[in-house]
Structure 1
Amino acid sequence: MNRRIMTLVAAILPVLLLGVIGTVVTVPYVALGPGPTFNTLGEVGGKQVVDVQGTAVDPTTGHLNMTTVSVRDGLNLFEAFGFWVSGEHGLVPRAEVYPPGVPREEIDKSNQQDFKDSEGNAEVAALHFLNLPTVVLLRKVGDGPAKGILEPGDELVSINGAPVAAPKDVVTAVSSQPPGSQLTVVYRRGASEQTANIVLAARPDDPTKGYLGITPGEGARPPMQVTFNLADIGGPSAGLMFSLALVDKLSPGELDGGKFVAGTGTIDQDGKVGPIGGIQYKMIAARDVGAETFLVPAANCNEAKQRTPEGLRLVKVENLTGAVHALEDIEAGRETVGCD
């Protein structure tokens, strides 16, 4: 009897040990997979994802979904194996997503800033495409002479009497003056135009040049105001879909003809569409929510066509103009340029 018990224990012990190790020991990998998608023409939390105030907005239907990649960290052996065999997830070394020595908070903050920048680029690209006027707005006021005087959202009207028409005008006006110089800045906050005299400090990277501590950017001319209402999303890859939603809302008709289109891609203020990571997972996410067409940055086409989910049509885009024309072709039933 004792020998039988010992034999049973000897057989079960390795299984129990494997179970403990598999659930307790974590692996140096993260799992990437399909993340949530958001219809940029729709609502989230009772608010429009792309909210336009102060001007007429054209009614829209259908879907222009932005897509995301999920990242699952802290995996144990069993979880990692499960994701690996799922067919819809991939394992990558954790160091590729969370570089060693860089605090998680710093990485998250950088991703959030990338997302914020993509919103600004998306707005400007759409306004330029539609030939709508823009103004120079303060995106950020950091530690510097302007702190406590100027605020994010202020519209810059002139500096030392010279009109401000573009962000580069601000950079030129400030950097052309030595530290200690006084600048007269005319700005508009809400409906009120105000004037401030600000003494320049030395620029941190070049002490011979003046420094205000501000980050200027472009935006819609008041009273029009554009707000993007998505939180807890990082990275720059929503830019293209944000721009398309804004173009759709500010122009007559419907870009996609009410169809279900999803996509991804960074965008700069000139409307150029750039590549992103995790294209295969974003395509799966799009297919799973019902998308029929997926807009792919040209630089991602080779990867995308090798892993296209069944039933999803790929459309290659290089810039905002091309993306708009592609949607118009889809609406009219014409052929589009794929990733062949």
Structure 2
Amino acid sequence: MKRRGVTVLAGFVLAVLLVAGISLARVPYVVMSAGPTVNTLTAVDADGDECTVGAKGCQEVIQIAKTSTSDSDGQLRLVTVNVQSRTGLLDVIKGWFSDEQAVVPYEFVYPPDRTKDQVEQQNQEDFKESQTSAETAALRKLGYPVRVSVGEVTAGGASDGKLKKGDVIESVDGTKIESPSQLVELIKAKPVGTVLKFQVTRDGKAEAVEVATKPASATDQTPRINIEVATVQPHPFDLSIKLDDIGGPSAGLMFALGIMDKLTPEDLTGGKIIAGTGTIDDAGNVGPIGGVPQKLYGAKKAGAKVFLTPADNCAEAKANALDGLPLIKVATLDDALNALATLRAGGQPPTC
């Protein structure tokens, strides 16, 4: 081989090795892109792919038993973000030039004081909590309020032999009890030794119970009834959410809407594909989330006609808006329900 040919070949090999080295070299960034979207009104298999109810390994995302449920002609899709945590320089460069991706420092997603496994575990816990809050908010809207109950009774305390674990506290001295904090304030409002009249539901039956308060301690005269307080939300059906491999709290709003769609005769979607995101608390307040630009792309690819956007994310969403995907502004579950009703009527709900 001639000297020139050897030189060209060597240069080519070096170039390949250089590119390979750049590709394999790890950099302290993660690349975020649109993740899977899931219709909360349908069923998924073990891999999270949508499937037909009755097929092997296929289960509904929102499972409701012991009551009738309704079907929908549309979809209520939650959206996710995919995080590529192992990245090379080429991945990052590609992400920088992509409208659909975002490049952020590794520690932005995985703080240095926590391991990757710890972060992912927290995301799973947040996801489960979002499901619980979605259930609470939806059931409250459907007429099943949160109620205060007795968790544990302290042996030898004021309530020992009077209140029982599982009692639902309906009222104290004629005042309806709607929250644990309200119960505490009613107890503290009267002197130690005051006899309080409790109306409770015990094993499905109404009971009247009298409890004389005791001091917190020998040196603390704060009135106490010596119970642990819990909350319950009685409803005459079974409800659960089954969806794995998704983390974070941002699916709360769409889960709440999915529950309400199944438990009410009206099709909330109006036959449309509705996408959205947002945390939700027990009172139905919708909170902001991360990854809005990527979630918009995921919604658009899924065929969504509108995107339910947390009010606090509106500025970011508008800056990354996509043609043909209106951004519907929502701050509460009621806002979302009103917006969907307006859409079904052919109107235009408030936008970002």
TM range (shorter): 0.7 to 0.9
In structure 2, what is the equivalent of residue 74 of structure 1? 86
In structure 2, what is the equivalent of residue 24 of structure 1? 24
Q: Secondary structure at the match of 2:71?
A: coil
CA contact (8 A) 1:38 1:67 kept: yes
**What is the letter of the counterpart of residue 229 of structure 1?**
K
Matches of 2:142 and 2:327, distance apart in 1: 26
Q: TM-score, normalised by structure 2?
A: 0.73
Q: TM-score, normalised by structure 1?
A: 0.76
In structure 2, what is the equivalent of residue 156 of structure 1? 166
**What is the letter of the counterpart of residue 311 of structure 1?**
G
**What is the letter of the counterpart of residue 287 of structure 1?**
K
CA contact (8 A) 1:166 1:218 kept: no
Going from structure 1 to structure 2, the CA distance change for 1:129 and 1:28 (only over 3 Å counts) comes to same
Alpha-carbon shift at residue 249 of structure 1 (Å): 1.6
Going from structure 1 to structure 2, the CA distance change for 1:255 and 1:51 (only over 3 Å counts) comes to same
Stretches of structure 2 that go unaligned for 5 or more consecutive residues are 46-57, 152-164, 186-199, 204-223
CA contact (8 A) 2:32 2:103 kept: yes
Q: Secondary structure at the match of 1:19?
A: helix
Matches of 2:316 and 2:85, distance apart in 1: 25
Alpha-carbon shift at residue 215 of structure 1 (Å): 9.7
Aligned length: 298
CA contact (8 A) 2:150 2:167 kept: no
Deviations 1:58-109 (A, max 9, x none): 2323111000010011112223223333331111000100111312221111
1:277 equivalent to 2:277? Answer no
Matches of 2:168 and 2:268, distance apart in 1: 38
Matches of 2:96 and 2:83, distance apart in 1: 14
In structure 2, what is the equivalent of residue 35 of structure 1? 35
Matches of 2:109 and 2:202, distance apart in 1: 41
1:312 equivalent to 2:322? Answer no
- 1:193-272 to structure 2, matched below 5 A, reads 216-219=230-233, 221-272=234-285
1:55 equivalent to 2:55? Answer no
Bigger Rg, which one: 2
Stretches of structure 1 that go unaligned for 5 or more consecutive residues are 140-154, 173-185, 190-209
Percent identity of equivalent pairs: 40
Deviations 1:208-250 (A, max 9, x none): xx9x9x995544x244221111112111100111111111122
Q: Secondary structure at the match of 1:31?
A: strand
**Match for 2:121 among 109, 129, 134?**
109
Q: Secondary structure at the match of 2:307?
A: strand
Matches of 1:291 and 1:88, distance apart in 2: 17
Cα RMSD over matched residues? Answer: 3.6
